[in-house]
Amino acid sequence: MTPEQEVARKKQMVSAARALLSLQVGIGVGCVRINKILHWLSLQDDLRYQVFRQFLAATVGLPIGNERLLWAHPALLECDARLAAIEADFRPKILSTCIDIIDTYGRGPLPTHSGQFRAGKGR
Q: What is the DSSP string of 59-109?
A: TTTS--GGGGGGS-HHHHHHHHHHHHHHHHHHHHHHHHHHHHHHHHHS--P
Model confidence, pTM: 0.81
Whether residue 42 is contained in a domain is answered as: yes
State residue 107's pLDDT score. Answer: 75
Domain range enclosing 61:
3-106
Whether residue 121 is contained in a domain is answered as: no
18, containing H or E segment: helix 3-21
Whether residue 39 is contained in a domain is answered as: yes
Whether residue 19 is contained in a domain is answered as: yes
Whether residue 113 is contained in a domain is answered as: no
Task: Give pLDDT tens digits along the chain (123 positions).
Answer: 888 999 999 999 999 999 999 999 999 999 999 999 999 999 989 999 999 999 999 999 999 989 999 999 999 999 999 999 999 999 999 999 999 999 999 875 444 455 554 444 444
Whether residue 51 is contained in a domain is answered as: yes
Q: How many domains does the chain have?
A: 1
Whether residue 118 is contained in a domain is answered as: no
State residue 123's pLDDT score. Answer: 40
